Amino acid sequence: MTATSHSAVDCAEFILAALDWLEARDDLTDPTAIDDAFELLASERRRLFLEVMTTYEDDLTLPDVAEEVAVRETDTTVAELPADRVAETYISLYHDHLPRLVDAGLIEYDQERDLVHPTAIRTP
């Protein structure tokens, strides 16, 4: 018998809770919407992006979002964060994660002002 890691137990508990929640929902009849949602949430960087938007509940510049995501990814302070890490995070958000979140209707993006607006994000 092998030992189960703490994260595996957390993962199993989360999956079971998610399945219970899905089963209780009458309005989720399109299985592709569920798959799309889980695919969107599969990326830790996208989850952190949404977490940042939920934390601030206001428009943020994409550079500010990138900085905050990088801080959370590295569990460090802004002062300790290398500029190239923020730049890499910004590029990743801009080219990959931002378009997906915009397409999903979770945020809006004003490219001219480089401003992100949380459209469908509510605090718990």
Which domains can be identified in the chain, with CATH numbers? 9-118 (1.10.10)
Q: Quick check: helix, strand or coil at residue 44?
A: helix
CA dihedral for 95, 48, 11, 25, sign (positive or negative): negative
Give per-residue pLDDT as tens, 8-46: 568 888 888 888 877 777 776 677 878 888 899 999 999
Amino acid at 56: Y
| Residues composing the chain | 124
Q: What pTM does this model have?
A: 0.81
Q: Please tell me the predicted confidence (pLDDT) of residue 4.
A: 46
Give per-residue pLDDT as tens, 100-119: 999 999 999 999 999 999 98
